[in-house]
Amino acid sequence: MLDRRNFFSQAESMFAMYTAGMYAEALAAVEQLAREFPEEDASTSYWRLCLLSRMGRTEEAVASMSQALQRGMWWGENALRDDQDLASLQGLPAYETMVAECKRRYSEAQKNSRPELLVRTPGTRPPYPLLIALHGRMGSAGRDLVRWEPAVGMGWMLAMPQSSQCGSPTAFSWDDTTKAREEIAAHYRNLAEQYPVDAERVVLAGFSQGAALSIQLALRGPIPARGFIAVVPGPTALDGLEGLARSARNLRGYLVAGGRDPRKDVFGEIQGALSRNGVPCEMEEHPEMAHDFPRDFDRTVDRAIRFLFA
């Protein structure tokens, strides 16, 4: 199996084509990704569906989705309803039939889905400082684990929760934030019982939707975090952040921003909202990066931890 980092690195160029309106070129890139990374079928099949729909090739889009379902794929209803790329398919009888089948498969998968946790311990003497890192929307703990593993070499215990909220056969989300907070808090309690955790050195972290959730958890509790590392955080309410920041104590934040991310302006607003209200927040900017991890992310993790405990 090829390194998953290669998959997302190549996908970044595909998304750049999409953003530039180069849909045919983006579709060709998706087809290449599908050939090289068959284990990423849930992602590439969905991207193919979106691009064909966006290009007005609705018959091909429906046929492609049908073939994907025959291979065992499915996606959550929100992804099939709310994505503007799929607007041309809404109401088509064949599409509606397949959406209903996806809902059925989702319900079956959700019945058996449970929160999971991957743990890596350092080779240093306990108690261990703890980094809890959250995957992004339509991600998984296994997918993001390799990104955060450098922290283990820095002497940190790494915990990667995986949400129980299904998005596809291989992907998960934190859409229900109340449920997400409950699961992550339970993970922390279990970790504190099973491992010699240094409660004075706990950091919450995440990518995209997981990054936004890590900010909220750090500000709101109940996990006693000293700070957060948020990589290209997804949507979060700025007004709510300001109120939470004013009541936070002894907390710091570290944001990682991509200059080509569609939400790049929001990252500065998050930093300002926190910094103005008593939560020192550093922002590391990568002008050429889109919605992704920096290529030298091990250095980012080291800089972030140094800032949080300065």
The CATH number of whichever domain residue 138 belongs to comes to 3.40.50.1820
Q: Specify whether the CB–CB gap between 290 and 15 falls below 8 A.
A: yes
Domain that holds residue 266: 116-308
- In this structure, the answer to whether residues 103 and 192 fall within a common structural domain is no
Q: Does 211 share its domain with 68?
A: no
Q: Do 102 and 133 lie in a common domain?
A: no
Helices 264-275 and 238-247, packing angle to 10 deg: 30
Domain boundary among 112, 139, 158: 112
Give the residue ranges of the chain where pLDDT is below 50. 1-2
Which of 83, 112, 141 terminates a domain? The answer is: 112
Q: 3-class DSSP state for residue 167?
A: strand
Angstrom distance (rounded) from CA 41 to CA 50: 14
DSSP, collapsed to helix, strand or coil, labels residue 237 as: coil
- 48 and 136 part of one domain: no
Q: Are residues 135 and 15 in the same domain?
A: no
- Per-residue pLDDT of 93-112, as tens digits, reads 999 999 999 999 999 999 99
The answer to whether residues 63 and 130 belong to one domain is no
| Among 63, 93, 112, residue at a domain's last position | 112
139, 279: one domain: yes
Q: What is the CATH number of the domain that holds 57?
A: 1.25.40.10
Determine the pLDDT at residue 2.
42
**Same structural domain, 94 and 141:** no
- pLDDT at residue 5, as a whole number: 62
Same domain, 16 and 89: yes
Q: Specify whether 277 is located in the same domain as 165.
A: yes
Q: 232 near 212, Cβ under 8 Å? A: no
Number of structural domains found in the chain: 2
Whether 73 and 220 share a structural domain: no
pLDDT of residue 74: 97
Beta-carbon contacts of residue 59 (< 8 Å; ≥ 6 apart): none
Give the separation between CA 231 and CA 211, rounded to whole angstroms.
6
